[in-house]
Amino acid sequence: MKWLLTDIYIVIDGIRYALKDGTAKVSRKMITLSNDILIPGTINYKGFSYYVTEIGTAAFRGSSIESITIPKSVTSVGSNAFEYCSLREVHISDIAAWCAI
């Protein structure tokens, strides 16, 4: 049985995620982020697991993050997701999948 619901928003380590139908989307930063960011592959909330599949439009816009680790579960990156960032490094586990985004 698939659990269907409208979006639920949670904040983990200063990053806001939208949860819906077994997936999670990085929707935006909630606080000033800096240094290294690790986006988890899954988020557990109230006994359910959500795969992080998307980084939303302008999700990290204007943040001072220097590096980010993106899980292979991410299949979509919104426009301007990293606009005006001081990003120096992007760590991904599957370069072929990343190039297809």
2-44 pLDDT tens trace? 444 567 999 988 899 999 989 999 988 777 776 888 999 999 9
Tell me the pairing of strands 8-12 and 15-20: antiparallel
pTM of structure: 0.84
Tens digits of residue pLDDT in 41-54:
999 999 999 999 99
Task: Tell me how far apart the alpha carbons of residues 71 and 51 are, in angstroms, rounded to a whole number.
Answer: 10
As a residue count, the chain comes to 101
Q: Specify the pLDDT at position 6.
A: 63
More confident residue, 62 or 32: 62
- Count CA within 13 A, CB hemisphere, residue 4: 1
- pLDDT of 5 reads 52
What's at 51, amino acid-wise?
Y
DSSP structural state of residue 80: T
